[in-house]
Amino acid sequence: MKNPFRRIVVTTIASLVLIAANVPSDAANGGVKRSPYDGRWSVVINTTRGPCGSVRAALQITGGRVYSQDPNYQADGAVGSGGVIRVTLVSRDGSASGAGQLSHNSGAGWWQSSQGECYGTWSAAPHEA
């Protein structure tokens, strides 16, 4: 005679395995939580005071963290859930920090060089693929 308790246990374990296999996890998502601002962004950095000039930068936002897509500089920063962004850019020529606000289709803010000799504004838009 078969043990009915064993059938219940095996069925329960099999059900739990199937449920666990279908629950998304951070590991399945690469360990990164998504941000509504994730993706590639094209940023225009304008100097309003000082000899720093203007530049266009390519940035990547992944999980709310900001990274550079250009080997000439490094970017480190974060975007909050409401779109508030803070970023530091570092190149061989110096560094600058900025802050501002992102929406889903644009962004704007201010920046200042680390030595204070330059400052200005920036604007951003999602990079079209």
In this structure, are residues 105 and 117 in contact, taking their beta carbons and an 8 Å threshold? Answer: no
Residue-level pLDDT at 128:
72
- How does pLDDT run across 47-92, given as a tens digit for each residue? 999 999 898 889 999 999 999 988 888 999 999 989 999 999 998 8
What domains can be seen in the chain, in order of their start residue?
A: 39-126 (2.40.128.120)
What is the pLDDT confidence band of residue 26, given thresholds at 50, 70 and 90? very low
* Residue with more model confidence, 102 or 13: 102
Cβ-based neighbours of 59, under 8 Å, separated by 6 or more: 40, 41, 43, 66, 67, 68, 69, 75, 87, 124
Quick check: helix, strand or coil at residue 8? helix
Kindly report which listed range (20-29, 51-60, 102-111) carries the lowest average pLDDT score.
20-29
pTM over 0.85: no
